[in-house]
Structure 1
Amino acid sequence: MMDKNHGGHQTDHKAKEPAGHEHRGHGGHGKEGKDIIKADKVKAVWTLAGGQKAQAKQDTIIHLEVRNDGKPLDNFDISHEKKLHMMIVSKDLSYFNHIHPAFKGNGLFEIKTQFPAGGDYKLIADFIPTGGSAMSKMEWVHVEGDTATAQPVQPEKELTKAVDGKLVTLQFDSLAANKELMLTYTFKQEKTKTPITNLQPYLGAVGHVVILTESTEEYLHVHPMEETASGPDAQFMTTFPKSGLYKIWGQFKHNDQVFTVPFVINVL
């Protein structure tokens, strides 16, 4: 069964919309600045189809009903080509999946997916109710089956990684809590070290960055400063809310293939 629903941390729309903003916590401001839909009134009810238990490596149908003040919420803004983004992350942060449930109407979203192993996973729904601000809702689900060996969350000394034939480097202009800072990704061909300048749009932007604390309780979804950038750099602005370990997943598209680049950092 699902555990108690948790609200995430969202919405601070930075500088220019829609570029260079992030989702991180509080809800609902209309055009005149009045609270129309408040995040604390919006609840996400998660169930598994047929009351089943989730089994590793088997199809699982997840239902998510979004309610506002107890009533189904039926109107959502399109955010980066989708009404709702769902992240699935294992408790040890070793597994990450960014998927998009289908909207069935009357506040209900549905998706079929598979979990790679038994254990606990956090589900995160990321959406914008029409008339409100971006918000996220989180939930734990337990998956039956053989568990994978837990991977320690350790900060990486070298923030350059080879992924699908590309060398990806992550740099910060500074790295401290409660300070607005720039994340810069740089892309090169792994073999030739030549800059990559033909990144393709992924969900309407050069890339997306999802950030979680080691505890999975703090969640950020950051969008690029220049959505039409194509490399060799992609820049994102964010603020880490507190000190500690964070895992960062950058998602990009090249040669018609989406690739994910994970890094673990320690914020002072």
Structure 2
Amino acid sequence: MRPRPLAAAGTAAALALTLAACGSSNNDSSMPGMDHGAKSSASAKASPSMGDMPGMDHTAAGNGLSDTKDGYRLTGEGGNLAAGKAAAYRFTVTGPDGKPVTDFAVDQTERMHFYAIRSDLTGFQHIHPTMTNDGTWRANLSSLASGSWRMFTSFTPDSGAGKGTAFVLSRTVTVPGSETKTALPAAAKSAEVDGYTVTVKGEPMAGMAHPMTVTVTKGGKPVTDLQPYLDTYAHLTAFHEGDTAFAHLHPTTEVDGDHGGPELSFNAKLPTSGNWRLFLQFQTGGKLHTAALTLKVG
């Protein structure tokens, strides 16, 4: 998910969004079922490779709604996960030869990005799992609410037939119990997130790249101490209402130490119209903040 440079700037107009604060810590969250990204082991890290620059995009990876693509397959635990408990979700990616893939390229400091999202677009978790030598990955999930969840894996093989190709594969998992669905919040231009005010402007259209700007302030003053998180100043993941289709965006703003903000520029490209739930993650003072945004795309 690496946005390509914008060919032309568009006129920025107010973008109707809903932003809801989701908590602020590296491993915990103030809301049940929310997680900002678990730490990954040293074995799952490596030096950044070519193409791991902020502002690049993996739109070629598709919407992620299948567990297979171009001979690659995601296999995961098929049983139910218990409600209200932390759980380890284990999975494997096999290649066209049917063997587990163990050679992955580094993308945004990680070899594997894992996302869990509930069918009503609540309970978002972004985790960096760990892999054993046989290619089995383990994603440590926080407490899950009852209902249907989709588990996404985002990766790029570093060898084999798919070398250099970004993939997003997913499987659904049922968490048993009485399911209470949450309606998607109404749109708004800005909201408070852990004491920060996030304001969004832009004109996204389905299937087209458009400029989008996020401005971060606190107490009415511009925030200029955003810290790099996964080699960017903000991590933005989007899921489509109804089918939970996946999209991933990054700011085109160049990273310059702990001096990010107050304005972040994005190349917004969402493939289909309708409501999208965006999860914006940014870091200050060593703490990660996650804002949930409801975006109407024409």
Alignment of 1:168 with 2:214, yes or no, is no
Q: 5 Å matches for 1:1-268?
A: 14-15=4-5, 17=51, 18-26=53-61, 39-47=69-77, 53-69=80-96, 70-130=98-158, 131-147=163-179, 149-156=180-187, 158-172=188-202, 174-189=203-218, 192-228=219-255, 230-268=260-298
Letter in 2 for 1:139: R
Task: Map Cα deviations across residues 160-185 of structure 1 (whole Å, 9 max, x no partner).
Answer: 0101110011111x232122112211
Query: What SS does the aligned partner of 1:161 have?
Result: strand
Tell me, in whole angstroms, the C-alpha distance in 2 between the residues paired with 1:111 and 1:258.
19
Letter in 1 for 2:277: K
Letter in 2 for 1:105: N
Letter in 2 for 1:125: T
Task: Go from structure 1 to structure 2 and tell me whether the alpha carbon gap of 1:13 and 1:134 turns closer, same or farther (over 3 Å shift).
Answer: farther
Letter in 2 for 1:153: L
Task: Map Cα deviations across residues 85-140 of structure 1 (whole Å, 9 max, x no partner).
Answer: 11111110022110111011232211222333111111111111112211100111
Identity of aligned residues (%): 25
Task: Go from structure 1 to structure 2 and tell me whether the alpha carbon gap of 1:253 and 1:13 turns closer, same or farther (over 3 Å shift).
Answer: closer
Q: Contact 1:24–1:219 (CA<8 Å) still a contact in 2? A: no
Tell me, in whole angstroms, the C-alpha distance in 2 between the residues paired with 1:83 and 1:40.
19
Q: Contact 1:200–1:253 (CA<8 Å) still a contact in 2? A: yes
- Measured after TM superposition, the shift of residue 258 of structure 1 is 0.3
Letter in 2 for 1:200: Q
Tell me, in whole angstroms, the C-alpha distance in 2 between the residues paired with 1:197 and 1:213.
31
Tell me, in whole angstroms, the C-alpha distance in 1 between the residues paired with 2:130 and 2:185.
35
> Structure 1 length normalisation: TM-score?
0.83
Letter in 2 for 1:178: G
Query: What SS does the aligned partner of 1:259 have?
Result: strand
Task: Map Cα deviations across residues 46-90 of structure 1 (whole Å, 9 max, x no partner).
Answer: 116xxx631112232211100101111110011111110111111
Q: Contact 1:26–1:39 (CA<8 Å) still a contact in 2? A: no
Letter in 1 for 2:117: V
Letter in 2 for 1:110: R
More strand by share: 1
Query: What SS does the aligned partner of 2:237 have?
Result: strand
Query: What SS does the aligned partner of 2:222 have?
Result: coil
Residues matched between the structures, number: 240
Task: Map Cα deviations across residues 187-234 of structure 1 (whole Å, 9 max, x no partner).
Answer: 000xx2000000011122111100111124421111221241600011
Letter in 2 for 1:108: T
Task: Go from structure 1 to structure 2 and tell me whether the alpha carbon gap of 1:111 and 1:177 turns closer, same or farther (over 3 Å shift).
Answer: closer
Q: Contact 1:177–1:267 (CA<8 Å) still a contact in 2? A: yes
Tell me, in whole angstroms, the C-alpha distance in 1 between the residues paired with 2:250 and 2:133.
27
In the alignment, structure 2 segments of 5+ residues that lack a partner are 7-50, 63-67
Q: Contact 1:122–1:138 (CA<8 Å) still a contact in 2? A: yes
- Measured after TM superposition, the shift of residue 155 of structure 1 is 4.5
In the alignment, structure 1 segments of 5+ residues that lack a partner are 1-10, 28-37
Task: Map Cα deviations across residues 29-48 of structure 1 (whole Å, 9 max, x no partner).
Answer: xxxxxxxxx94211110116
- Measured after TM superposition, the shift of residue 22 of structure 1 is 2.1
Query: What SS does the aligned partner of 2:221 have?
Result: coil
Letter in 2 for 1:144: P
Task: Go from structure 1 to structure 2 and tell me whether the alpha carbon gap of 1:26 and 1:98 turns closer, same or farther (over 3 Å shift).
Answer: closer
Q: Contact 1:90–1:96 (CA<8 Å) still a contact in 2? A: yes
Please name the residue that 1:32 is paired with.
none
